[in-house]
Amino acid sequence: MQTRRLIRAIDGETLDPPPVWLMRQAGRYLPEYRQTRAAAGSFLELCYNPDLATEVTLQPIRRFGFDAAILFSDILVIPDALDRNVHFVTGEGPRMDPLTVADIDRLDPTRAETHLAPVIATVARLREALPQETALIGFCGAPFTVATYMIAGRGTPDQAPARLFAYREPQAMDQLLALLADMSAEYLIRQLRAGADCVQIFDSWAGILDEASFRRFSIGPTRRIVDRVRQAVPDARIIGFAKGAGSMLSAYRAETGVNMIGLDWSVPLTQARMLQKDGAVQGNLDPLRLIAGGAALDEGVDAILSELKAGPLVFNLGHGITPDAPIAHVEALLRRVRGQAS
């Protein structure tokens, strides 16, 4: 019998209290993470160092006892494997060489297996090191979200460069997304075979697309990943997080074939409850409630539990935890979710 509560919830079981983990739970809000990050040299060196990546993944499990650990890495290891000069600028975020239509034919995925081998080694180490009851989540970025960074060479407020690229060069965008989907699928297959219990596909920029573009550039490539992963690992459990997808979430679940959908904080709980009728949902506390603490935090947690606790739920934030989240507020959130006295 499956003992990992996260997996039981993904499979459709209603649990009280629900399993809980937080996106970006291994991060800068933890002093132990900041210490390890300083020792690593650079962010990417941390991602590719199995010893240090294992350590930072385990830190929030030791401190908080979450029901799941998520592999410490980054969605941009895929373009890094494509030799796009990925680097991180302190205080500004990721940078890489902007991609042109002509560049797409020159992208070479053959070095990915070797380049990403340290990440797969981290997955294997984590499965050995984690408590038996703690689930291990692998992940990748969705092709569209990864492509937005590759095309612009950086993050932008509305990812206009990628949207314009898609409108002007739709076939080139399809070609790029197919390549990224196939690379991402192989990457997830390797994570699952190394010990991940499930994987999450982060489409953090899905919400900027209109309906037709969402179906073509978000749902289509994600379905390609899911199909390819399931061909290799038939019972693979896959979480889809299409941030900002809103009214398209039901179609997203049905047409991608993911087992569970992640909900950002803008999804009304009445809609979340309807989505829950078709399978497990994950989310969706506003990360700013976690920073605010007090009544704002308690009310947010209670509303989610009140509306969604009667169905398959994994409690989470509606996006990643931020560096200014107080540790005491994370502890309070866990006590509230788990029904423990303060």
| Domain covering 5-337, topology | TIM Barrel (3.20.20)
| pLDDT single digits (tens) 65-85 | 999 999 999 999 999 999 999
pLDDT bucket at 157, cuts 50 / 70 / 90: confident
The torsion of the CA quartet 330, 333, 339, 342, rounded to 10 degrees, works out to 70
**What percent of the chain has a predicted confidence (pLDDT) above 70?**
99
Residue 342 has pLDDT above 80, yes or no: no
281-285 vs 260-262, strand pairing mode = parallel
Sign (positive or negative) of CA dihedral 41, 42, 46, 48 = negative
Task: Tell me which of 48, 149, 187, 252 is the catalytic residue.
Answer: 149
| pLDDT single digits (tens) 278-299 | 999 999 999 999 999 999 999 9
Task: Tell me which of 11, 34, 63, 74 is the catalytic residue.
Answer: 74
Residue 32 has pLDDT above 70, yes or no: yes
**Was 26 annotated as part of a binding site?**
yes
**Was 27 annotated as part of a binding site?**
yes
Residue 51 has pLDDT above 60, yes or no: yes
Task: Tell me which of 4, 37, 253, 336 is the catalytic residue.
Answer: 37
For position 59, what pLDDT does the model report? 98
Tokens of 2: 């499956």
3-state secondary structure of 194: helix
Chain-centre distance for alpha carbon 203: 8
74 catalytic per annotation: yes
| pLDDT single digits (tens) 82-104 | 999 999 988 888 999 999 999 99
How many CB atoms are located within 10 Å of the residue 105 CB?
8
Task: Tell me which of 11, 28, 83, 278 is the catalytic residue.
Answer: 28
Given a contact cutoff of 8 angstroms between Cβ atoms, the answer to whether 77 and 111 are in contact is no
Task: Tell me which of 24, 95, 163, 253 is the catalytic residue.
Answer: 24
Given a contact cutoff of 8 angstroms between Cβ atoms, the answer to whether 34 and 52 are in contact is no
Q: Residue 243 region, left (φ>0) first, then alpha (ψ -120 to 50), else beta?
A: beta
Query: Cα(137)–Cα(325) distance, rounded to whole angstroms?
Result: 22
24 catalytic per annotation: yes
Q: How high is the mean pLDDT of the chain?
A: 96
Considering only CA atoms, give the Rg of the chain: 19
Domain chopping of the chain, boundaries: 5-337
pTM, to two decimals: 0.97
For the purposes of burial, counting CB atoms within 10 Å of the CB of 312, is it exposed (0-12), middle (13-18) or buried (19 or more)? buried
Tokens of 176: 């790029």
**Was 319 annotated as part of a binding site?**
yes
For position 341, what pLDDT does the model report? 61
187 catalytic per annotation: no
Q: Which has the closest alpha carbon to 17: 315, 319, 342, 327?
A: 315
28 catalytic per annotation: yes
